[in-house]
Amino acid sequence: MEFDKDLQSIQEIRNLVANAKAAQAEYAEYSQEQMDKICLAVTKACEQNLEKLAKMANEETGYGVWQDKVLKNKLGSTLTYEAFKDMKCVGILKEDKEKKLIEVGVPMGVVAALIPSTNPTSTVMYKSIICLKSGNAIIISPHPGALKCILETYKIIAQAAKSAGAPDKIVQCVSIPTMQGTDTLLKHPDIGIILATGGEAMVKAAYSSGNPALGVGPGNGPSFIEKSADIPTAIRRIFDSKTFDNGTICASEQSIVTERCIAEKVKEEAVRQGGYFLSPEESDKVGRFIMRANGTMNPKIVGRSAQVIADMAGISIPAGTRVLISPQTTVGKDNPYSREKLCPILAFYVEENWQDACKRSIEILFNEGKGHTMTIHSQDESVIREFALKKPVSRLLVNTAGALGGTGATTSLTPAFTLGCGAVGGSATSDNVSPMNLVNIRRVAYGICELSDLRKGSPAPAPVQTGVAGRTNFSYNSDAPGEAARAATYTREDVENITRAVLARLSKL
């Protein structure tokens, strides 16, 4: 007998949510110290399996470099735990005795965590730890293309959490991922919040689900090399980022923008460090592989090396080429080089000065990736500040590698694999999402004064005088005694009609 996979998936979701709701109700009674103990146990279990899970992810998806995925797993577990281990998320967070105000951290409940195929195991670790730290249950919703490695990561985390005293089912994972099942999960009334990391369509589905959601849009960060920059170091950082796990982190650079006065030096250094500048004909061949007919990124190039992409496109490149670079002069949806490319491909723009480079960077971001991330390499603080004031991004990274700086590995930003894009990018947050994004703050406010205190120094309201039954006399000073006399004869219904008419008139002003 053949079972309907969609129906199985939907029923699994319903069961998972019911289990998670019950487990979270129990977990919400735990102290912060108990939750921290569980987070530590989960982190240690992840640390023991960093390499195993990295290799599984690489083998299953074909994306990236397993050695780099080990470091990503470490960022999602050890570095995440270390960043938040002393954070107070639940219970009394702050008490201001002078203002008589208390703030209480309250878990959001059941978290639906969408996991991408580009960073599967590391994102499961990161989201599980921040959910457990903040008193929430988590339901992991895997990308079908990375199901095996995500399920294995979940099993390790769930076992560690349970062994450390967490309620059973506090961490769960969907084993039958379907679109219908995911839709059921996102729209389930018992979901407290959705953490959406994945494709643009999935993030939009999360925001349109009717449940609270934190989603992130695509990255498309330009990297500006300003004339005061240390050019060899800037290129090294950009290439380190763009080749790290073959460019699968959305904060990685997507284009280089530089000034004409240093353009040749930048090109020479890029070639010296393994960059290959494509000819117009070669750019055309590679460009056909970047986007699909529907305007979305071609998954065949995601996480692939420069050599593999060159082979697919039918072009010859020098041995040892690390990054493919295409000189460009235009930006648009129909120019694949001006869009997000999660692989070692960069666009290259030359502008007359930093002001024009600033405009070009904004153009690139509004084409795709607004609100996300960009980098600048410069020693001129005045230029850096101008970029900080003008760029529509949530992260302006200075003199660092985009992929590693944006996720908090080489900067002081919060370690995260969910990078908010703010209102300009259609996201509910501009944060690197942390445990504090998964709690509500309940405020306990004591009265500090009375109505009589508020009225001190202000004119007292006129007393209401009742005249003939059913009529109200209004006492006020007026230079028009005739009008006052007539108003005194109005019924309450008259007054209400006049009020409605006045409000209607005001609304048209």
Which residues are the active-site residues?
A: 250
| 353 in Cβ contact with 311 (< 8 Å) | no
Q: Which of 240, 192, 180 is nearest to 12 (CA)?
A: 180
- Listing DSSP states for 287-306 in one string gives HHHHB-TTSSBPTTTTT--H
| 90 in Cβ contact with 133 (< 8 Å) | no
Q: What stretch of H or E contains 350?
A: strand 345-351
| 370 in Cβ contact with 222 (< 8 Å) | no
| 357 in Cβ contact with 255 (< 8 Å) | no
Angle (CA) 188-192-196 rounded to 5° is 85
Counting Cβ atoms within 10 Å, is residue 8 exposed (0-12), middle (13-18) or buried (19+)?
middle
Q: Which of 237, 225, 229 is nearest to 350 (CA)?
A: 225
Q: In whole angstroms, give the CA distance from residue 348 to residue 223.
A: 10
Task: Report the helix count and the strand count for the chain, using DSSP H and E.
Answer: 19, 17
| 312 in Cβ contact with 332 (< 8 Å) | no
Burial code (b: 16+ CB inside 10 Å, e: under 16) for 435-456 equals: bbbbbeeeeeeeeeeeeeeeee
| 170 in Cβ contact with 137 (< 8 Å) | yes
